[in-house]
Structure 1
Amino acid sequence: MAPPEENTGELPSAEEVVDVAAGSEKATRKPISTVVMVISMQTEALPLVNKFQLSEDHDGLLFPKGVPWVRYHGKYRDLNINLIWPGKDLSLGVDSVGTVSASLVTYASIMALKPDLIINAGTAGGFKAKGASVGDVYLASDVAFHDRRIPIPVFDLYGIGARSTFSTANLVKELDMKVGKLSTGDSLDMSPHDEGAILANDATLKDMEGAAVAYVADLLSVPAIFVKAVTDIVDGEKPTAEEFLQNLVAVTAALDQAVTQVVDFINGRCLDEL
């Protein structure tokens, strides 16, 4: 083994800077290889597991012992796809929805799998005032929280956590997808306080995971995109829970089709080609 180079404290030469920059540019031009999909409900996940012919990981080595998180993985065309579902709550047996589970599985998946891209796919409520209809599928352009109210200067902005998602102008154009802002909270219903915050966020969509996934992805510098299918009209006449359950299976089929189109578009492309 060669001895370590002595740190002389000298600045790198212009040639060395150019070499480093070229290496960084080359890395960004590398075709996308590993994709992590974060999907919160089993009903939303299983059609994509079947579509991409993914296998469940049974060795239990990827995640900490005892957690209910489930990984499905496989090769689809030139992509290594990992679909992560937070699993069922260990006490109540329902899907582990919401921001806490989404944050945890996103963090654990990034650390273990080092993905090139994260896709958070799932269902969402939509606002007819913004043009949304049941069955529409959107790519989220921006995300924010609507239920983290911290009325102290600067902390209020931290609570909202507004951020833009990874730009996919070519994907949007090629697939002719709808684009809208996404607002995230841990409740299926909408309180008056939440409604005001969602309006302030200028959101077309409302979900329970997106902004949490975006926060972790941003923290760890991993590009993330968000594909959301509308199950219910939040500002409509029907009760949200009733409409959500009524439309979940049918809308999941639309989500399945849209995610497949997105993955097919991603295959063979670099991040800056999206």
Structure 2
Amino acid sequence: MAALGDQSEQQAMASQPKPLTQSPPISNIVIVIAMQTEALPIVNRFQLTEDPHSPFPQGVPWVRYHGTYKHLNISLIWPGKDPTLGVDSVGTISSALVTYAAIQILQPDLIINAGTAGGFKAKGASIGDVFIVSDCAFHDRRIPIPVFDLYGVGLRKAFETPNLVKELNLKVGKLSTGDSLDMTQQDETSIIANDATVKDMEGAAIAYVADLLKVPAIFLKAVTDIIDGDKPTSEEFLQNLAAVTAALDLAIEQVIDFINGKCLSEL
């Protein structure tokens, strides 16, 4: 029979708060990529295979590639080709829909949105640079009514990864998203207000869905064209797409290797 003093000590120990246990390592990653040209090098690098039995609703063009790499289950989601016109389903609507569906079905620990983007040389961007995004916002949702204006901008922070940034020596910048490849004067004013270094057509929409469903999301953007340069955006984008996609592919591999075996708090 234990002595009274021992019982008191046991009771005191039982009343102490238990130390917080470290969260388990990341095991399930969803990569969302808007264009097939951007997606296929990553599919090949990680030897992912197309899911013959799509988990998505019948009739949608969304494609899932999946496989395992080291200790990670990786799903790469591409919104597919527009059923009518046969081009990549780019833009905020497709990206938001496919991200929502992927989260619901696949329950990822982490989302990575990877893709190409325009960059601003005034903010230090050069062709081929790969940026990890600190903040996402929209530049073409203009609602000039108090509070609705802030909703339109939709500013959201990406999941913070200070150790990843330091280890891989990544450039960090803010991202501005809109549904047009070109940039109007109004867009430019909003992008400057967003303090953006890079501009794309899906990031802020993915950030909105990830925030809504409380899934951490990080964003990697590789610069194909200099928006404040002297070449037409569409021409420069197509000229540099293949080479910049290769740089993005390499950066994704480095990021995945860093994530492997780590929990979210270690990123």
TM-score by length of 1: 0.91
Cα displacement string for residues 113-172 of structure 1 (whole angstroms, at most 9, x for unaligned residues): 000000000000000000100000000000000000000000000000001110000000
Aligned to 1:198: 191
User: 2 CA distance for matches of 1:17 and 1:257?
Assistant: 48
1:38 correspondence with 2:32: yes
Aligned to 1:158: 151
Equivalent runs, 1:152-231 vs 2, <5 Å:
152-231=145-224
Shift of 1:17: 11
Aligned to 1:248: 241
| Structure 1 gaps, min length 5 | 1-14
Equivalent runs, 1:10-21 vs 2, <5 Å:
18=17
Percent identical among aligned pairs is 73
Give the aligned residue type for 1:180: G
TM-score by length of 2: 0.93
Q: Per the alignment, in what secondary structure is the counterpart of residue 101 of structure 1? A: helix
1:125 correspondence with 2:118: yes
1:115 correspondence with 2:84: no
Shift of 1:262: 0.3
1:56 correspondence with 2:56: no
Who wins on radius of gyration, i.e. which is larger?
2
User: 2 CA distance for matches of 1:178 and 1:82?
Assistant: 25
Q: Per the alignment, in what secondary structure is the counterpart of residue 83 of structure 1? A: strand
Cα displacement string for residues 59-100 of structure 1 (whole angstroms, at most 9, x for unaligned residues): 12x100000000000000000000000000000000000000
User: 2 CA distance for matches of 1:32 and 1:102?
Assistant: 23
Aligned to 2:134: 141
Give the aligned residue type for 1:38: V
How many residue pairs are counted as aligned between the two chains? 254
User: 2 CA distance for matches of 1:66 and 1:142?
Assistant: 34
Cα displacement string for residues 32-55 of structure 1 (whole angstroms, at most 9, x for unaligned residues): 000000000000000000000001
Q: Per the alignment, in what secondary structure is the counterpart of residue 248 of structure 2? A: helix
User: 2 CA distance for matches of 1:149 and 1:17?
Assistant: 53
User: 1 CA distance for matches of 2:15 and 2:98?
Assistant: 39
Give the aligned residue type for 1:33: S
Give the aligned residue type for 2:50: E
Aligned to 1:88: 81
- Shift >4 Å, 4+ stretches: 15-19
Q: Per the alignment, in what secondary structure is the counterpart of residue 206 of structure 2? A: helix
| Structure 2 gaps, min length 5 | 1-13
Q: CA RMSD in A?
A: 1.3
Give the aligned residue type for 1:160: V
User: 2 CA distance for matches of 1:33 and 1:234?
Assistant: 37
